[in-house]
A and B are shown apart, each in its own frame.
Chain A
Amino acid sequence: MPRTVAYKAQIEHLSVLDENGKLDAALAKKLGKDLLGDEQVLMAYEHMTVCRQYDEVAFRLQRSGRMGTFPQNKGQEAVAIGSALAARKGQDWLVPAYRENAALFLHGLPMHSVLVYWMGDERGSQIPQGVKITPLSVPIGTHMLHAAGIAWASKIRKEDSVTLTYFGDGATSEGDFHEAANFAGVLQVPCIFICQNNSWAISVPREKQTASETFAQKALAYGIPTIQVDGNDLFAVYAATREAHERARKGGGPSFIEAVTYRLADHTTADDASRYRDTKELDAWKAKDPLIRLRRYLEKQDLWSDEQQEALEAKAKAIVQEVVKAAEEMPKPEITDIFDYTFAEIPESLRVQRDTMRTTSLGQDPRQAGLGARAGR
């Protein structure tokens, strides 16, 4: 028997808006004339600017000891916003890791919640009613299974809901990613896997993470339609997500999007990326900043002026100031709060611990336990 080709594939790369803010108009048209209207782009730009300011302030809060750690979204805002724009707030689910704040805010997570969370307070993960976002998930990879599961549930219930999940390049090395992708493929669930390939997992470069040419091709193995996009290009991310979203709604199952981007910040505030990243690499990516290119685009369209920019920056500062205030004014939690959410209903043993704040085995003062020293000894 001759050798034949059993399977052949290629990975498409999508880029619509270049570094100089020049839009490939023909391509944009082909992607749909309603690709992104002026109003939407303006809104996205404003939102991204506010989030950039949020990042800067969060960083300073940490440096001045007012916050624990904080993972910045800086440089990756176009992935977050582009994808979140293509999803329906309050109807589609977002299942985040920890680096896509901008998407979460767009879907209704109060901005101060994320600060409260990173200030070390679980109440930051109390998601308001009607907001379809799961709590931040720091154990790498585990949340992708939840995303596949949520999507499966909506399929079974015949709900018109698509689940988007975010994760990094490094997260694809966890078994959880492969198991989630396999399930999503087999069950054909409406789930969009958004891989934010920022080239680094803390200090580990992508070459040490995988020998794959692209992250997008990993999805092929699970029978999932997949694409690589310029992750700093709002239009490309939006177009790819919208396509995936439409497919999912039509019963076409899951999709995978590799968004090639770069974190312009340290891994978290506990890190110093200059120790392992080349400044030349960083500088090259600074030139590809999604905010800069969007501003250039808006200017080219005569939609943006320096005055507007100034006003926006002032507005961003004011908003973030309010947000920080809201986070810091949150009353301190009560010590006894730790007992409130372990079970739906507090069991007797925990009630005793809570009332006495004693965590000895007896949950109370041993002298009063009624089992004290044996008489006659």
Chain B
Amino acid sequence: MAVALPTIEIEHPALPRPMRFPDFANWEEPQREGDRVITFREALREAMTNAMREDERVFLLGEEVAEYNGAYKVSQGMLEEFGPKRIIDTPISENGFAGMAIAAAMAGLKPIVEFMSWSFSLVAADQILNNAPKMLYMSGGQWGCPIVFRGNDGAGGQLGSTHSWCVEGLYSNVPGVKIAIPSNPLDAKGLLRTAIADPDPVFFLESERMLGDTMHVPEEDYFIPFGRARLAREGGDCTLVSFGRPVHFCMEAAEALAKDGIEADVLDMRTIRPLDIEAIVRSVKMTNRVVVVDQCWPFASVASEVVTQIVEHAFDWLDHQPVRVNTADVPTPYAKGLEAAYLPNANRIIEAVKGVVG
């Protein structure tokens, strides 16, 4: 049986009640015999379902979310439980339903908007970038926008240039949004729960590549706070910073590097806005070397920001210039071999780490 999590309560004026958070950032419960194991998509569904059971203001809308159970089956069965008033199929009008949902959030509801793919959020750019994140600011603090936009983000599934966007590079530039990118089912549930409760707009990025990943996830409700990275592995020779799917590439690289006597810290950022720069700096001050792995394009990417902040905060502790591992600086290729060559992978990370450690 899962053990109850130690939690702390956090209060916020916009929350109906104090939120419960695990009281340590790097909690990972060892899996035990008989523990419940669920998939990433089930973890997401559980977070939404729990939030909807608890709070009538929460509802889900998007293309194919109801009858079809979601393009990636994340909302399977939710129409049955909550009915068509709260699980809403929309016409193919991303700009339309994003804007309408923003209005619903302003009017006191708590919408979860599913983009079949974050690639399609680009046609709703004005609403999600120019409206949602600025509403509170422009209304002098009167009108918040407690909304979650979520969906599949990133390449790897051979979907071609237009459907393989990693929007975090572009969107994280905008003040007023929070961006969560979980790398595993446990985090997915806790982070999505927090996202829905959050009083501000949250972009929640899931990788279609990981939706089938399984893990022990406690049945009870829990929240994982934003801006608290998880130390996925302790090394000491080099810090690997990543978020989302590439965390797994980092772990793979770290295990391989360990065989060569190089031990890496692996930090899973969980959210990039807010960014837990303290956790990064703490690790870098011990390892003095850092490689940032990011599946966005390199120019002005999240990795660029992380490196900048490391230089700002820990310049004197660095024994080697920080290195970024991004995708190639080209549109996402469609062909299988080309797409693989374009993405960051364990080998590239190993090479980069050896470069900074050697």
Contacts and interface: CB of A to CB of B under 8 A. Distances in A.
B355 interface: yes
15 contacts: A121-B335, A122-B161, A174-B92, A203-B68, A203-B89, A335-B337, A337-B333, A338-B333, A338-B341, A339-B328, A342-B330, A342-B331, A359-B298, A361-B298, A361-B323
Nearest to A136: B160
Interface string B307-334: 1000000000001110111111111011
A62 interface: no
Nearest to B338: A338
A361 B326 contact: yes
Size category of the binding interface on chain B: 35 or more
Interface residues of A: mostly helix, strand, loop or mixed? loop
A140 B95 CA distance: 12
Interface of A: 68, 117, 120-122, 138-142, 170-171, 173-176, 201-204, 208-210, 275-276, 332-333, 335, 337-339, 341-342, 349-350, 353, 357-362, 365-367, 371-374, 377
A362 B356 CA distance: 12
B63 A360 contact: no
Contacts of A374: 319-320
Given A175-B96, A360-B348, 13 more contacts: A120-B336, A139-B163, A140-B120, A202-B71, A203-B64, A204-B64, A204-B67, A332-B335, A335-B338, A338-B330, A342-B331, A358-B351, A359-B328
A372 B357 CA distance: 10
Contact of A339 (B91, B161, B298, B330): B330
A122 B91 CA distance: 29
Nearest to A176: B123
A210 B326 CA distance: 42
Nearest to B349: A360
Contacts of B163: 138-139
B204 interface: no
B358 interface: yes
B281 interface: no
B348 A358 contact: yes
A120 B161 CA distance: 11
Given A276-B68, A333-B338, A366 B92 contact: no
Contacts of A372: 320
Nearest to A208: B89
Nearest to A365: B355
Contact of B93 (A174, A275, A357, A377): A174
Contacts of B131: none
